[in-house]
């Protein structure tokens, strides 16, 4: 019967701990080799007992004063306890004994960064790159990339990852990281060239195909990105992020049916997410399949009940179907979360107008104006509500205020004319209409839509005919 390796290892540690306790207590027959101290220090470190780890290190150095490995272990513990300058001193001692240990450079880098000396860290790592090769060199390049990231030299992070992939084209860590940094730095053309070279030698590297697709997507070359992602999922049919990005690319191309197919594949392969259901809902929304859109918006809202915009989007699907009462209920949910959101207030006001609740609608339009005093849409919705609800007492004052607040938009002169017509003040209405048409004659169409009965006034018809003859409309 084979011995259980885990049990064997546990027994060895137990024996080492016994010998270590004997040694600490001065029992002369006990002896520990240098490597045994290393195992004990690692054991205490794994147990997060840094005090014991430090004691074991000190005893080891006392017995093996010329052990660079134990000096490095001591420096590592000092770094963990934030004694950065002391750590550097022990690393200097270790370097005198063995300058070819890569851990020296890694730990020195950590110390310099902790002491806010990134320039020294960079200089050290660049020197080390000349001394090491193969896996050690790659490790140093990753370390250098992290240093550049820490002090926001983001272009150089990309450069380091590019160097790694030029030396080790299928390095998974680098392939994962460079995808993010390509997007962050916008160096899509370089990424395309790099990954095309990788694919030429390693045509079945799915990460290279994925990164190629992402780089094309960054340049808005969606057809090419789709081709690259398709190769990716042929190699690995469970690569869920490729399906995600395919969904996004199809949405950009307004191929909503294809996008839904890809996004549903994501739901099959990974844990359901709010963002995926929301994207599927968006596609159905654009295809005017509002019931299906609602289904997925609701799925998303169940996952994140605090996201007010999902209730708003559900409301919009009801508005598009003319189901304003149902829309109002959803908007009430959204407004419970964000009471003064201008978009929600505007939608609520418009839905209330459609259900002839004009006075209630004015409250919501007032909120829009408070939040966005220069917004033409908010002012316009309020004045149209007053006209439709025959709430005209202060309507002209609002139209004048809106005209000034919006930077003298001619549409509000038309609204003043409409208000005067509604009040039976024909002379004032015609004067305002003449003024409005002198500024923006084409906007008369909006007023006719709002008040088609004005075409029964001969003066209005004559005025429109006059501008038509001058080809201004």
pLDDT at 471: 59
pLDDT for 27 equals 60
Query: 392 in helix, strand or coil?
Result: coil
**Count of C-beta atoms within a 10 Å radius of residue 44:** 21
Through-space distance between the first and last CA atoms of the chain, rounded to whole angstroms: 97
Asked whether the predicted pLDDT for residue 21 surpasses 80, the reply is no
Q: Is residue 59 a part of any domain in this protein?
A: yes
Is it the case that residue 43 has pLDDT exceeding 60? yes
For the chain, state the CA radius of gyration. 36
Q: Is residue 45 in some structural domain?
A: yes
User: Any idea which of 105-119, 313-327, 340-354 has the lowest mean pLDDT?
Assistant: 105-119
Asked whether residue 223 is assigned to any structural domain, the reply reads yes
Between 355 and 116, the more confident residue is: 355
Please give the structure tokens belonging to residue 324.
């304003």
384: confidence class by pLDDT, cuts 50, 70, 90: very high
Instruction: State how many domains the chain has.
Output: 3
User: Is the pLDDT reported for residue 332 higher than 90?
Assistant: yes
Higher pLDDT, 344 or 131: 344
- Kind plus residue range of the DSSP H or E element containing 190: helix 188-201
Answer whether residue 307 is part of any domain: no
Contact assessment for residue 423 and residue 399, using Cβ atoms and an 8 Å cutoff:
no
282-318 burial, b for 16+ CB within 10 Å, e for fewer?
bbbbeeebbebbbbbbbbbbebeeebbbbbbbbbbbb
The pLDDT > 70 percentage for the chain reads 96
Higher pLDDT, 401 or 473: 401
Non-local (6+) Cβ contacts of 153 within 8 A are none
CATH of the domain at 230: 1.25.40.10
Distances (CA, A) of 343 to 23, 347, 377: 74, 6, 10
Domain that holds residue 460: 429-473
Residue 366 lies in a domain: no
CB 38 within 8 A of CB 70: yes
Domain final residue, candidates 258, 283, 318: 258
Percent of the chain residues past pLDDT 90, beyond the cut:
61
Residue 169 lies in a domain: yes
pLDDT band at 465 (very low <50, low <70, confident <90, very high): confident
Mean pLDDT for the stretch of residues 16-25: 75
Domain limit, last residue, from 48, 75, 99: 99
* Residue bearing tokens 């004067």: 431
Query: Which whole number is the average pLDDT over 143-162?
Result: 92
Local confidence band at 211 (pLDDT 50, 70, 90 cut-offs)? very high
Is the predicted pLDDT of residue 4 greater than 50, yes or no? no
* pLDDT (0 to 100) of residue 54: 81
Which residues are CB-neighbours of 25 under 8 A, at least 6 positions away? Answer: none
120 falls within a domain: no
- Higher confidence at residue 186 or residue 143? 186
Q: Distances in Å between the alpha carbon of 425 and those of 102, 371, 402, 419, 422? A: 90, 33, 21, 9, 8
Check whether residue 83 and residue 169 sit in a common domain.
no
Confidence band of 117 (pLDDT split at 50, 70, 90)? confident
* Residue 206: alpha-carbon gap to chain centroid: 24
Could you tell me which residues come within 8 angstroms of residue 453 by beta carbon, excluding any fewer than 6 positions away?
A: 421
Give the pLDDT band of residue 264 (cuts 50, 70, 90).
very high
pLDDT score recorded for residue 1: 36
The answer to whether 237 and 209 have CB atoms below 8 angstroms apart is no
Q: Which of 99, 122, 143 is the last residue of a domain?
A: 99
State the pLDDT at residue 191: 97
User: Is 113 a member of any domain?
Assistant: no
């Amino acid at each position: 019967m084979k011995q259980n390796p885990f049990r064997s290892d546990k027994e060895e540690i137990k024996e080492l701990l016994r010998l270590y306790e004997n040694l600490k207590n001065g029992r002369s027959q006990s002896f520990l080799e240098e490597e045994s101290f290393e195992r004990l220090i690692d054991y205490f470190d794994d147990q997060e007992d840094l005090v014991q780890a430090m004691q074991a290190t000190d005893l080891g150095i006392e017995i093996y004063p010329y052990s660079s490995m134990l000096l490095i272990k001591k420096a590592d513990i000092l770094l963990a306890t934030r004694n950065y300058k002391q750590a550097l001193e022990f690393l200097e001692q270790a370097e005198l004994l063995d300058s070819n240990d890569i851990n020296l450079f890694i730990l020195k880098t950590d110390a310099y960064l902790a002491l806010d000396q990134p320039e020294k860290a960079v200089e050290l790592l660049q020197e080390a790159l000349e001394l090491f090769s193969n896996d050690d060199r790659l490790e140093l390049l990753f370390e250098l990339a992290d240093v550049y990231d820490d002090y926001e030299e983001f272009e150089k992070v990309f450069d380091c990852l590019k160097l790694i992939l030029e030396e080790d084209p299928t390095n998974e860590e680098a392939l994962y990281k460079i995808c993010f940094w390509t997007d962050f730095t916008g160096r899509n053309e370089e990424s395309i060239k790099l990954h095309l070279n990788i694919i030429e030698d390693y045509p079945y590297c799915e990460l290279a195909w994925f990164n190629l697709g992402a780089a094309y997507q960054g340049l808005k070359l969606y057809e090419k990105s789709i081709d690259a992602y398709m190769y990716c999922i042929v190699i690995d049919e469970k690569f869920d992020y490729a399906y995600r990005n395919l969904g996004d690319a199809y949405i950009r191309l307004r191929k909503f049916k294809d996008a839904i197919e890809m996004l549903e594949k994501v739901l099959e392969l990974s844990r359901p997410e709010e963002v995926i259901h929301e994207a599927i809902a968006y596609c159905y929304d654009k295809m005017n399949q509002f019931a299906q859109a609602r289904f997925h918006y609701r799925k998303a809202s169940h996952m994140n009940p605090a996201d007010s915009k999902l209730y708003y989007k559900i409301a919009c699907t009801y508005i598009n179907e003319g189901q304003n009462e149902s829309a109002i209920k959803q908007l009430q949910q959204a407004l419970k979360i964000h009471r003064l959101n201008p978009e929600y207030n505007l939608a609520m006001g418009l839905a209330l107008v459609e259900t002839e609740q004009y006075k209630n609608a004015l409250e919501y339009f007032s909120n829009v104006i408070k939040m966005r005093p220069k917004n033409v849409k908010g002012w316009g919705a309020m004045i149209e509500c007053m006209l439709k609800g025959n709430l005209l007492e202060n309507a002209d004052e609002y139209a004048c205020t809106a005209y000034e607040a919006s930077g003298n938009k001619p549409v509000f002169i038309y609204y003043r004319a409409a208000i005067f017509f509604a009040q039976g003040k024909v002379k004032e209405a015609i004067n305002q209409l003449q003024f409005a048409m002198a500024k923006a004659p084409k906007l008369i169409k909006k007023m006719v839509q709002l008040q088609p009965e004005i075409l029964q006034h001969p003066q209005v018809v004559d005025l429109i005919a006059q501008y038509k003859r001058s080809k201004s409309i």
